[in-house]
Structure 1
Amino acid sequence: MMICAIYARKSTEQIGVSDEDKSVRRQIEHARAYAKRKGWHVAEEYIFSDDGISGAEFVKRPGFIRLMNAVKPKSPFQVLIMSEESRLGRESIETAYTLKQLICANVRVFFYLEDRERTLDSPTEKIMLQLTNFADEMERERARVRTYDAMVPKAKAGHVTGGRVFGYDNVDIPSTVVDAQGQAKRSHVELRINEAEAEIVRKIFRLYAEGRGFTTIAKTLNAEGAPCPRPRPLTRPHGWAPSSVRVILLRRLYHGEQIWGRTKKRDKWGQLKPHRRPEENWLIVPVPQLQIVPDALWEEAQARWSQNRQFYLRSTSGRLHGRPVNGKESPYLFTGFTKCHHCGGSLYVRSHRYGTRRTYHYACTTHYQRGPEKCPESMLMPMALVDRAILEQIEEEVLQPSIIIKAIQKAVRILHDPSQQPDARREVLEKELQQLKGELARLTKAIAKGGMLETLLGAVQEREARQTEIQAELAILNRGTVAPFDAERAEEDLRGYLKDWSGLAQRHPAQARQIVRKLLPEKQRITIRHEGRGRYSFTGVAMLGRVFEGLIVGKYFGVPNGI
């Protein structure tokens, strides 16, 4: 009997709908029934699903990633069942490549809605695949256009086009059309001022105009128990944060201007990458009936904002030192991987100077940026002590000897790859260099004939840069003979590094964070709890469900923080 897997996906997550009624659940049930009719066995561990994720996403789909990992190096199932091809994806290039990977792994792909197997045995079948993927991608583009066209009239009329905004209530406006039960259908949704929340908004503007900072305002509101925006996702700590105060101060709706189209959610490939549109493309609608902040107070707060921003830019020579966008890792090993036991908030690093010495401690972000009312945990844990304890526990519980041996053997095989040996590498580089020279000659002729200058010059610069890299590498290879690869020596060196892997991780946190990210499941964080008198416990779950936990004992001098 053939073993089969199931993959189901739905783009829009259905909030407030039971599991039994979800489209993903229905897809799985129908796929089970299809497998039963065919006489196939559905293995529970090979049921993969993604709910609320676009078909244009291929990297940020957990179920899809698990499916593709399962077929390597050898697939444990022989059949994959889906409702239709678009469930696999709605981006033609990625979808075609994914199907090729599945079929090359000897997995037969069936669609139960058509009772059809997808094969790629002939040129005709391949072109049909391209046409189907083209149709799916066109449908995604048409859906985007339909949504945009439906939202523009609502935005121009000042109606709600998104979720809730703090300071307002969403009010359903009925139409004259009734449904089958005789109930009036909703025409649209309008904003109405919520006076209790509006007063909080005005207070934020007053405090800022008086000279208070974002963090001070957030702590003041939390200490008073003031209503706050609902966190997203709901599992995050509730309460005011400096970032939410900043959003309030910059939202022009409070001054009677509704802005639509400020950001675009997805890029040209359909992937979720929000980016800001040019201001000339914004749709700005005056809504004086929704103004909460008086003109004078608004102008005063904005004047202070502009003044502070100009002062900041002068002090940094015009550079914005915000969150890095170049993918640079944090210099601290476990920030982003740890959370507070009391509130679930992230831990961050606070530093203090004691004379000529600076110390670093992990602390709860919620407590220090939102105030003790939202999280009373004031722990300050010595960073070096925490790093060392967690790394040692991971080494003991997760990095078992059998895993280490396999990892070393794999590393030696990679290092001993014949294609990377000097003679083989030199041959590959010389071929690529000759190819680049030919391309540069053709590009030069195209420029001389009056081709598109900007595009051609960009192509020339790209190839000249690569040519320089190859020439530099060839110079190193030609400088002298390279000693032959010694597998035993390489294995010995790797074992030596692993003996001190904890020390290496602390000395090179950016590289070690990449290892930690692979060891910990996505969205799983190490929970740290203050046990009192300088003692802290931690618990985490590594890949494959392996649990690790431990106790950190620091110096205790009779102060609440235990440092």
Structure 2
Amino acid sequence: MKTNRHNLRVALYGRFSTSRQNAASSADQLRAGEKYATQHGWTVVARFTDDAISGAYEHGRAGLQELKQQAMLGQFDVVVVESVDRLGRNVSEVTALYRRLKFHGIEVHTYTSGKQTDLVIAIMSSVAEAQLEEIAHKTRRGAKANILKKRSAGGRAYGYVSDPKLTADGKLDKGHQKICPEEAEIVRRIFEEYAIGKSPIEIARKLNLEGVPGPRRPRKKGEIQVPGCSQWQVSTILGHASRGTGVLHNELYRGWRVWNQRMYLKNPDTGKRVARQNPEEDIERIDAEISQKGCTSG
């Protein structure tokens, strides 16, 4: 227990989970943390952030790793965060981090509820992990609902573009798609050339020589177009039969929407997402019923 509660050194940590959240949210968290430190007469000496990174595991969170390293060197006395779930959404990792900080004489505070205790950390990290599981469950439920309504559950297959509809009450009804003729012609060409004996590497090489843009679309960064890779690859054309990937094995080109082919788990040792094939009886197929209306590419 520290005897002098004034002039304590503070490290701030901010994190938000996905690129869909406001990129300024980490900065907002740090500003609120600075205000909290000032109110207590403390001095902020370090700031750490992890932007657009899930809190499921510590892996890949450079800001948190740096915070842990500096904690062991005794660089600060208090860590201030918005809430316990900013430290993570994994009970074992958050509680282990808290115990490590406590061992080094470092307190954890949230600017919403003050100093954290062992019990509060255990409870709140459990709640955070449960919320993450609930989010995953709701996401899958929403994707399944879209498939059963014969809509896209997310993502974009080459040859198709988004075709949102307006409902009677003026709301945007997403998930609808329509065929893009220019890209559909390339899809037909790939099937035709493969049928007469051309290999995927030959097809890819010819498309690249002709300058036909590949399936990966340019990414948007604000108003600036950042070109992505537009080259055709063998894997793009051939894919994997059991996984339904690649142009030649994508069942959408045969008129079927397929859902639940794979489940994705994060490896707790690496933090990387790993795909696992689901049993055939768990896979759902439904008539795609995609609009034949044309579109322009670009």
Measured against the shorter chain, the TM-score band is 0.7 to 0.9
Aligned position for 2:115: 117
Describe the shift of the 1:277–1:52 C-alpha distance in structure 2 as closer, same or farther (beyond 3 A). Answer: farther
Measured against aligned partners, the alpha-carbon deviations of 1:442-473 in whole angstroms (never above 9, x if no partner) come to xxxxxxxxxxxxxxxxxxxxxxxxxxxxxxxx
The RMSD of aligned alpha carbons is 2.4
Match of 2:242 in 1: none
Task: Classify the secondary structure of the residue corresponding to 1:12.
Answer: coil
| Distance across 2 between alignment mates of 1:195 and 1:94 | 50
Q: How does 1:31-70 map to 2 (within 5 A)?
A: 31-43=33-45, 46-70=46-70
| Alpha-carbon displacement from aligned partner over 1:185-213 (angstroms, at most 9, x marks no partner) | 32222110000000011111112122222
C-alpha distance in 2, partners of 1:109/1:145?
A: 31
Q: Summarize the alignment of residues 89-488 of structure 1 with structure 2, pairs less than 5 Å apart.
A: 89-114=88-113, 116-119=114-117, 126-177=118-169, 184-230=170-216, 237-246=229-238, 247-267=246-266, 272-289=273-290
Question: What do residues 174-195 of structure 1 show as CA deviations (whole Å, max 9, x unaligned)?
Answer: 2334xxxxxx332222110000
Distance in 1 (CA, whole Å) between partners of 2:264 and 2:30 is 29
Kept after mapping to 2: 8 A contact 1:82/1:112:
yes
Letter aligned with residue 25 of structure 1:
A
Match of 1:469 in 2: none
Q: Deviations over 1:338-397 (max 9, x none)?
A: xxxxxxxxxxxxxxxxxxxxxxxxxxxxxxxxxxxxxxxxxxxxxxxxxxxxxxxxxxxx
Cα contact 2:91–2:122 (8 A) shared by 1: yes
Match of 1:206, SS state, is helix
Kept in 1: contact 2:57–2:93 (CA 8 A): no
CA apart distance, 1:4: 1.4
**Aligned pair 1:4/2:10, yes or no?**
yes
Q: Counterpart of 1:70 in structure 2: which amino acid?
A: Q
1:512-540 alpha-carbon deviations (Å, 9 max, x no partner)? xxxxxxxxxxxxxxxxxxxxxxxxxxxxx
Distance change in 2, residues 1:186/1:288 (3 Å): closer
Task: Report the identity percentage.
Answer: 28
Q: Using the alignment, how far apart are the partners of 1:36 and 1:249 within structure 2?
A: 61
Matching residue of 1:355: none
Q: Deviations over 1:371-428 (max 9, x none)?
A: xxxxxxxxxxxxxxxxxxxxxxxxxxxxxxxxxxxxxxxxxxxxxxxxxxxxxxxxxx
What is the deviation of 1:99? Answer: 0.8
| 1:78 paired residue number | 77
* SS, match of residue 49 in structure 2: strand
Counterparts of 1:93 and 1:238, CA distance in 2: 42
Give yes or no for contact 1:254–1:290 (8 Å, CA) kept in 2: no
**C-alpha distance in 1 between matches for 2:276 and 2:62:** 23
Paired with 1:288 and 1:128, the residues of 2 have a C-alpha distance of 51
Q: How many positions carry a matched residue from both structures?
A: 271
Structure 1 residue 235: Cα displacement: 6.8
C-alpha change, 1:235 and 1:66, in structure 2 (3 Å) is: farther
Alpha-carbon separation, structure 2, partners of 1:230 and 1:84 = 38
Q: Show structure 1 runs of 5+ residues with no match.
A: 120-125, 178-183, 292-563
CA distance in 2, matches of 1:69, 1:232: 38
User: How far apart are the structure 1 equivalents of 2:277 and 2:52?
Assistant: 23
Asked if 1 retains the 8 angstrom alpha-carbon contact of 2:154 and 2:175, the reply is no
SS at match of 1:71: helix
Alpha-carbon shift at residue 268 of structure 1 (Å): 8.7
Looking at structure 2, the residues matched to 236 and 69 of structure 1 have their Cα atoms a distance apart, in angstroms, of 35
- 1:13 alignment partner, one of 15, 19, 44: 19
- The 1:89–1:68 alpha-carbon spacing in structure 2 relative to 1, beyond 3 Å, is same
Q: Quick one: distance in 1 between partners of 2:76 and 2:39? A: 18
Residues in 2 aligned to 1:133 and 1:49: alpha-carbon distance in whole angstroms: 19
Measured at CA, do residues 274 and 6 of structure 1 come closer, stay the same or move farther in structure 2, by a change above 3 Å?
farther
Displacement of 1:227 in angstroms is 2.6
Go from structure 1 to structure 2 and tell me whether the alpha carbon gap of 1:230 and 1:221 turns closer, same or farther (over 3 Å shift).
same
Aligned 8 A contact 2:216 2:229 in 1: no
SS at match of 1:75: coil
In 2, Cα distance between equivalents of 1:290 and 1:274? 31
CA contact (8 A) 1:156 1:285 kept: yes
Cα distance in structure 2, aligned partners of 1:239 and 1:271 = 26
Structure-1 separation of matches of 2:66 and 2:188:
49
- The one-letter amino acid of 2:13's match is Y
Offset at residue 59 of structure 1 (A): 1.6
Deviation at 1:251, TM superposition (A): 0.7
Displacement after TM superposition at 1:12 (Å) = 1.8
Distance 1:6 1:27 in 2: 8
In structure 1, distance between residues paired with 2:105 and 2:218: 42
CA contact (8 A) 2:263 2:275 kept: yes
State the Cα distance separating 1:53 from its structure 2 match. Answer: 2.0
Unmatched segments (≥5 aa) in structure 2 = 1-6, 220-225, 239-245, 293-298
CA distance in 2, matches of 1:103, 1:4: 14
